[in-house]
Structures are given as C-alpha cells and as structure tokens.
C-alpha cells in the first residue's frame, strides 16, 4: 500500500486557525480503513505524530489548529504533517508516519 501524498498546506507555508489539509490517495482505501491527518514537532521523531481530527474517508479536511487540544502540543513553530491510512475499529495505523511523505509547515498564531 502506497501512502497518500500531502498537497495542502504547501511546503513551508505558515498556517493558523482553520486550516484545510488536502492530499491525494494512492488508490482505494482497504475495507474498514480511513485517512488520518497527523502532525509532529520538528524536534520529534515521526512516530510521535498525533492526529488532529477523527479519521475521514474524504481526501481533504478542515481543522482548527488554534484549538487548545491541538495547539498545546506544538512546542515550536516548525511542524511536519502527513496523512496515514488507518483501520478505525480497532484503531491500527496501516501506514506509519515514518513511511509516509511528510510536508513541513509553520504554525503562527
């Protein structure tokens, strides 16, 4: 299974508030699977990636990055993001953050 390709936000874009994430899937999702947008700090390994919203079947998602439940996890403005394929019940990452193509963005409130 090939990982999805991040499209928006573009590489090195500064973001805050409501942010649209868009990606291109690499084929149909397996049965019971969905996409999950994850983010991690520049000084963390990809395996520290945290989801910013519930998994979705769509190839885009709008997330409020200023929400404390999300932004309290940012320890620097430089962040990486990617999209995983996950099984939703039970939750299992079918593609890990380290195996996905990541994009860098900057968070500025």
Model confidence pLDDT, tens digit, residues 69-97: 999 999 989 999 999 999 999 999 999 99
Q: Where are the domains of the chain?
A: 5-107
Output the pTM of the full model: 0.94
What is 5-107's CATH superfamily? Immunoglobulins (2.60.40.10)
pLDDT above 80: residue 109: no
Q: How confident is the model at residue 29 (pLDDT cuts 50, 70, 90)?
A: very high
Query: Which whole-number Å values give the CA distances from 91 to 25, 50, 64, 86, 94, in the listed order?
Result: 19, 13, 23, 7, 9
């Amino acid at each position: 299974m090939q990982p999805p390709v991040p499209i928006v936000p573009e590489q090195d874009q500064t973001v805050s508030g409501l942010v649209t994430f868009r990606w291109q899937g690499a084929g149909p999702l397996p049965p019971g699977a969905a996409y999950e947008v994850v983010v991690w700090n520049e000084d963390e390994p990809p395996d520290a990636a945290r989801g910013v919203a519930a998994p979705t079947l769509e190839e885009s998602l709008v997330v409020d990055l200023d929400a404390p439940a999300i932004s309290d996890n940012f320890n620097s403005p430089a962040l990486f993001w990617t999209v995983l394929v996950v099984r939703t019940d039970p939750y299992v990452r079918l593609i890990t953050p380290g195996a996905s193509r990541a994009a860098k963005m900057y968070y500025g409130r």
